[in-house]
Every structure is written in structure tokens, then in C-alpha cells.
């Protein structure tokens, strides 16, 4: 059976066999009778493997981080163990790659402890050295899109290429992104298109969205607005926030469909609920009078949301609002706080404004 066929048949029970290198084979049928009683160390080990299975499967499908986290939390509910107990077990059992990775995941998202993304990434790196595929996918995402570590496109390309050889859809999508943008390799738009197509064919919603933008911009293929809308719709149906936002853009601009500003507004809101930053910016634009009534309070709330999600631009904008008193009561303390947050990410204007306020 080919890797492609194997991937199509992957489910949350057999993923353990794909990427756990430090465990004996487990008879899945034997797990169910004990799944609700995690008293013994063996049971906790099974739980940890299962959680990593869930995360890996959903990363591979292209699901959003907020969705994956919710599914992790749902799985641990009603299982006679607290998140703090799982965290403590992970902290004291770091000999297996799944435990190392999951401790990193818990630290990244503040599960069972306060969020510590720097520590999380170090743990991802340690697990990746042990060839843990969930850790490798998480590292790729950080190197490509994260704000905590410096971009490492060479490592991103190599990790993506190796995982893509094994037929993993998320890796195919990421490798396509590398070829499209020249990350760790020369730009090759035809190769990017081909890889996005493969990822989409394997059900990766991110690949569908990227393929849609290829058809929109003519990247490695001819422009085809009908395919643009169809692919964004498929990704949106799978719950991908970029697909949902992109479909909203189609309705706003009439790409492959009729203009419908109300529909665009609704889709942007749906993507915002999934913490999609691009959608947040576009919904701010909507609340300035496109597809809905002008609402300055909503503009501020959405800007605050984007700032909390780590956008340096949004942090600067919020700081400026507090600094000047635009749509919010003037508050120099809050202005300094958000200018500092933005400046720490390298925002030059934020650095200047921060210095000005600290001198006064």
C-alpha cells in the first residue's frame, strides 16, 4: 500500500504506529476497557500517546490551533484525572518523545500551567531530535509563522521535505509554501502548485486554501476564479479559518460568486471566532461601515483581540489609542504597556513612542 493510501486510512487510533518510536506495539482493542480509569502509570502513558495522536492527526488535516486545543481539552474531560495531574506526570516522565512533545504543547497553550512558549519550543526541538513527527510539524509551524523564535527556513524546508516524502499532507502543504516563497530553497511556483494539489487531494484544508490562492493569483497555473471559490468553500466546510476568511473575501469582491457583503461579514466573524488575525483586520474594516453599521467599540475590541493574539501592529494601534485617547479613555500606563509589547517584537514606531513616553 502506498504512503498516500496509508495516509487516507489514518485515524486517531492507528497514528501511534506511524510516529511513536519508543513504545512497544499496543493492541488498540485492549485500550478501551481501561480508557476511563487513569490510575496506573501505564494508563497515563496510553493517555499521553492518545493525545499526541489527536494533535498529530489534526495538524496533518490542517486544523486551526484553537480547534486542536479544544479537542485535546474535550478528550481529557471526564477521565478521572486533572490537567494539572497530567502536567505533573509529564514533568516527571521525560524519557519518551511523546511525553517531551506533550509537555511542550501544554506549556505552549497554558494547559495545566502558565503559558511558556519559549520552553515549549525547546521541548519541541528536543522531541524532534527523537524524530517525533508531531514535534516536527509543530516546529515547522513555529519557524514559518511563529513570533517566538527566529525564522529558520533551512530547517523548515528540510523537515517539510522529509515528512513530505512519507506522504504527510501537512508537510506537503508546508513544502509547497517553501517553494512558493523561496524559503530554504529557490522559488518554484509550478512545484508549489503541485504540492498544494497533493495536500488538498489528501484532505488538508490548508492545502485547499493555498491552492485556491494559486488559482486566484496565477501561481504555477492559469487564473481560474471559479476554482478559487470552490476550493475556499471546501476548506471552509472543513472549518479552516483561512478558508473561511478567503471565502468571505470572494463574497466581498465577487470572485467566482456574486458580491454579498453581508455574507462576507458573517464569514469574517466566523474566522475571527477561530482567532484568525487576517479576518480580525478585515472585520475591523467591516465595522468601519462595510457590510454592517459603523461601530467604534467593536473596532477597539477587535484591535484588542488582535493585540492579545500577539500582533505587533495591533499592539501598536491599541497603545496609540490609549496614548491619544481615540475611542477609549486616555491611559498612559496602558499605552506604555502595549508600546512595550509591540517594541519587543521589533516594531520601530512602537520603540520611538515608548521612548518618548518614558522620557516624560
Cβ(123)–Cβ(101) below 8 Å: yes
Q: Residue 294, class by beta-carbon neighbours within 10 Å (0-12 exposed, 13-18 middle, 19+ buried)? A: exposed
Alpha carbon distances (Å) from 285 to 45, 278, 289 = 48, 11, 7
Cβ(75)–Cβ(47) below 8 Å: no
Q: What is the dihedral of CA 337, 70, 168, 47, to 10 degrees?
A: 120
Tell me what the mean pLDDT of segment 315-338 comes to. Answer: 93
Distance CA 181, CA 176 (A): 9
Element (H, E) at 74: helix 65-76
pLDDT digits (tens, 9 = 90+) for 24-59: 333 333 333 333 444 456 688 999 999 999 999 999
* Separation of CA 56 from chain center: 12
1: CB partners within 8 A, 6+ apart: 9
pLDDT digits (tens, 9 = 90+) for 98-116: 999 999 999 999 999 999 9
Delimit the CATH 1.25.40.10 region(s) of the chain: 152-223, 295-360
Q: Has residue 18 got a pLDDT over 90?
A: no
Tell me what the mean pLDDT of segment 139-162 comes to. Answer: 91
- Give residue 185's region: left, alpha or beta (phi > 0; psi -120 to 50): beta
**Which homologous superfamily does the CATH classification assign to the domain defined by 152-223?**
Tetratricopeptide repeat domain (1.25.40.10)
What crossing angle do the helices spanning 277-287 and 241-253 adopt, rounded to 10°? 30
pTM of the model: 0.81
Cβ(30)–Cβ(24) below 8 Å: no
What's the confidence (pLDDT) of residue 79? 83
What's the confidence (pLDDT) of residue 83? 94
Q: Has residue 14 got a pLDDT over 80?
A: no
Please calculate the CA angle 129-133-138 and round it to the nearest 5 degrees: 90
Distance CA 253, CA 237 (A): 20
Distance CA 279, CA 244 (A): 9
What's the confidence (pLDDT) of residue 327? 83
Q: Which CATH class is domain 295-360?
A: mainly alpha
289: CB partners within 8 A, 6+ apart: none
What's the confidence (pLDDT) of residue 19? 34
Alpha carbon distances (Å) from 146 to 142, 151, 193 = 4, 8, 24
Q: Has residue 13 got a pLDDT over 80?
A: no
Count of all residues that appear for the chain in the document? 360
What's the confidence (pLDDT) of residue 12? 30
Q: What is the dihedral of CA 284, 290, 291, 293, to 10 degrees?
A: 80
Q: Has residue 2 got a pLDDT over 80?
A: no
Residue 323 grid cell: 496614548
Distance CA 53, CA 98 (A): 9
Distance CA 96, CA 45 (A): 10
Amino acid at each position: 500500500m502506498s504512503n498516500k493510501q496509508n495516509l487516507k486510512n489514518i485515524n486517531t487510533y492507528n497514528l501511534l504506529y506511524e510516529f511513536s518510536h519508543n513504545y512497544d506495539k499496543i493492541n488498540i482493542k485492549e485500550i478501551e476497557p481501561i480508557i476511563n480509569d487513569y490510575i496506573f502509570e501505564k494508563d497515563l502513558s496510553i493517555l499521553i500517546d492518545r493525545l499526541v495522536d489527536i494533535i498529530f492527526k489534526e495538524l496533518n488535516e490542517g486544523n486551526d490551533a484553537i480547534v486542536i486545543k479544544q479537542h485535546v481539552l474535550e478528550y481529557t474531560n471526564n477521565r478521572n484525572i486533572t490537567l494539572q495531574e497530567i502536567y505533573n506526570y509529564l514533568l516527571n516522565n521525560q524519557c519518551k518523545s511523546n511525553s517531551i512533545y506533550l509537555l511542550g504543547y501544554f506549556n505552549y497553550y497554558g494547559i495545566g500551567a502558565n503559558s511558556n512558549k519559549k520552553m515549549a519550543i525547546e521541548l519541541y526541538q528536543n522531541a524532534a531530535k527523537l524524530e517525533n513527527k508531531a514535534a516536527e510539524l509543530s516546529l515547522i509551524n513555529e519557524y514559518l509563522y511563529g513570533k517566538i523564535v527566529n525564522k529558520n527556513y533551512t530547517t523548515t524546508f528540510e523537515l517539510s521535505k522529509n515528512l513530505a516524502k512519507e506522504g504527510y499532507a501537512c508537510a506537503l502543504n508546508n513544502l509547497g509554501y517553501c517553494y512558493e516563497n523561496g524559503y530554504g530553497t529557490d522559488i518554484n511556483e509550478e512545484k508549489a502548485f503541485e504540492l498544494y494539489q497533493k495536500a488538498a487531494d489528501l484532505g488538508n484544508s490548508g492545502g485547499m486554501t493555498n491552492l485556491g490562492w494559486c488559482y486566484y493569483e496565477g501561481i504555477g497555473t492559469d487564473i481560474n476564479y471559479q476554482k478559487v471559490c470552490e476550493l475556499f468553500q471546501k476548506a471552509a466546510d472543513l472549518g479552516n479559518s483561512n478558508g473561511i476568511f478567503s471565502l468571505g473575501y470572494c463574497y466581498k469582491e465577487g470572485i467566482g460568486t456574486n458580491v454579498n457583503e453581508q455574507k462576507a461579514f458573517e464569514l469574517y466573524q466566523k474566522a475571527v471566532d477561530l482567532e484568525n488575525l487576517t479576518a480580525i483586520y478585515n472585520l475591523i474594516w467591516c465595522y468601519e461601515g462595510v457590510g454592517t453599521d459603523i461601530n467604534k467599540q467593536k473596532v477597539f475590541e477587535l484591535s484588542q483581540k488582535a493585540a492579545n493574539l500577539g500582533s505587533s501592529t495591533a499592539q501598536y494601534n491599541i497603545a496609540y489609542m490609549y496614548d491619544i485617547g481615540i475611542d477609549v479613555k486616555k491611559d498612559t500606563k496602558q499605552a506604555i504597556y502595549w508600546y512595550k509589547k509591540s517594541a519587543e517584537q521589533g516594531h520601530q514606531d512602537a520603540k520611538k513612542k515608548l521612548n518618548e513616553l518614558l522620557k516624560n
